[in-house]
A and B are shown apart, each in its own frame.
Chain A
């Protein structure tokens, strides 16, 4: 599904996706408006960008259910971000009180977005990995899950009735796909410094 199609079907007023987003923004309006989204449109645009960036696998049978599910997850991603920003602001305010008044006013201004180089929390990686799985074919997903399960490559090859080299090639392709997914999503290697990504 191309982004225009997705916009018309799930993000225009009156659509199922729009109603979900409207409900969610209204519920947490106060928090969103004070942190990362001042308006509903801004909130919807951000989620549209996040969801439309996912290349949903053509093998997915019930695409609508997965798109709606992803919209709901993205609502919570924005909520987590908002909570993070709120906590950071509180911390900053406490620091400002402690700091001497010589400090520049500009230094005390809170950034609108979270620091792009701040390290990802593991639970964020958890969501990210599972959203990545939406773009995989079933065979690729099985392979990816096997790697998460720590299944040795040799065992994977036996299970799939393939030779080790073929499995290695598939793993290499998966690696490229995963990195390009992260890049498209705007994540940098620094954010994964906790993990040995290279």
Chain B
């Protein structure tokens, strides 16, 4: 071996051979292991030979490119050490995947459900209606009808306390109303309209075609019991009499003759 290395050493001193690709690659990658003589040999040659210098530059650039490419992803050795999840048993991995999928499903469901949509339960069903014709204001921007509470329920929520008898129509007086409307008597009822719900004080308005002299306005309940009576001269009067909830009729008498009948509701 001594002779072999001696020969090799002489070659390093004297050689003018061009450097092979592997010799240059060895110089780039294993420089730390080199003897001073070997380092000197390569460096001297690269300084004196432009052909080998350019080859060296090409190989060095190629090495950099390879390193960049190789480091784009972490090598398997590092992944195995860090990503402990990949070493878990299959069953655990599948279970984890299933949990993730279910969580994602619910997340998507709650993210995309309409916020103003109301969930209708069986219990709620009879009390809710979808008003597609009248409640235009209740339509959303896309024109889709929204679920609304019925108007009656919205306005008459305290109805639970109302006595049903006080709202029962009086057939006799109802006949008068109908006759009044149909026959166009001398006195026409203007306000409140037939069946309007009013609140106190109540303003009554009417008009008359002829001056009929002494007139009287009487407010009666649905049992035709007189509750208020006042003499009227013009075509309007405001009355602030306390009335409980119920159906009321108002009559206009001309010379003690019933000429017009109207009705209204009082709700608290």
Given A19-B69, A131-B30, A148 and B9 contact (CB-CB distance below 8 Å): yes
User: Which residues in A have their C-beta under 8 angstroms from that of B73?
Assistant: 14, 19
Write the chain B residue with the least CB distance to A125: B8
Which of B8, B35, B69, B71 is the one whose CB lies under 8 Å from A23? B69
B66 and A69 within 8 A (CB):
no
How distant is the Cα of A79 from the Cα of B69 in the complex, in angstroms? 20
A72 interface residue per 8 A CB criterion = yes
How distant is the Cα of A37 from the Cα of B202 in the complex, in angstroms? 108
The bracket for how many chain A residues form the interface is 35 or more
How distant is the Cα of A24 from the Cα of B37 in the complex, in angstroms? 30
Size of the B side of the interface (Cβ < 8 Å), in residues, is: 44
Distance between A37 CB and nearest chain B CB, rounded to angstroms: 15
A195 and B8 within 8 A (CB):
yes
B256 interface residue per 8 A CB criterion = no
How distant is the Cα of A125 from the Cα of B23 in the complex, in angstroms? 9
Given A148-B35, A148-B37, A124 and B29 contact (CB-CB distance below 8 Å): no
User: Which residues in B have their C-beta under 8 angstroms from that of A20?
Assistant: 66, 69-70
Which of B22, B62, B69, B76 is the one whose CB lies under 8 Å from A123? B22
B132 interface residue per 8 A CB criterion = no
A122 and B2 within 8 A (CB):
no
User: Which residues in A have their C-beta under 8 angstroms from that of B26?
Assistant: 73, 126-127, 130-131
How distant is the Cα of A133 from the Cα of B4 in the complex, in angstroms? 16
Q: How many A-B residue pairs have CB under 8 A?
A: 137
A79 and B21 within 8 A (CB):
yes
Write the chain A residue with the least CB distance to B12: A148
Mark interface residues in A115-126 (1 if CB within 8 Å of B CB, else 0): 000000111111
B1 and A149 within 8 A (CB):
no
How distant is the Cα of A175 from the Cα of B4 in the complex, in angstroms? 10
Q: Which of A51-102 contact B (CB under 8 A)?
A: 64, 66, 68-70, 72-73, 75-77, 79-80, 83
What does DSSP make chain A's interface, helix, strand, loop or mixed?
Answer: helix
B177 interface residue per 8 A CB criterion = no
User: Which residues in B have their C-beta under 8 angstroms from that of A131?
Assistant: 26, 30
Distance between A112 CB and nearest chain B CB, rounded to angstroms: 20
Q: Which of B29-56 contact A (CB under 8 A)?
A: 29-30, 33-38
Distance between B49 CB and nearest chain A CB, rounded to angstroms: 13
| Residue of A72, A121, A150 contacting most chain B CB atoms (<10 Å) | A72
A-B interface, 5 closest residue pairs, ranked by CB to CB distance from nearest: A69-B29, A145-B35, A16-B75, A76-B21, A76-B25
10 A-B residue pairings within 8 Å (CB atoms): A23-B66, A69-B30, A76-B20, A77-B22, A123-B18, A123-B20, A125-B8, A133-B33, A134-B30, A197-B1
A-B contact sample (5 more), CB < 8 A, given A148-B8, A149-B37, A150-B6: A64-B77, A127-B26, A131-B30, A178-B1, A197-B1
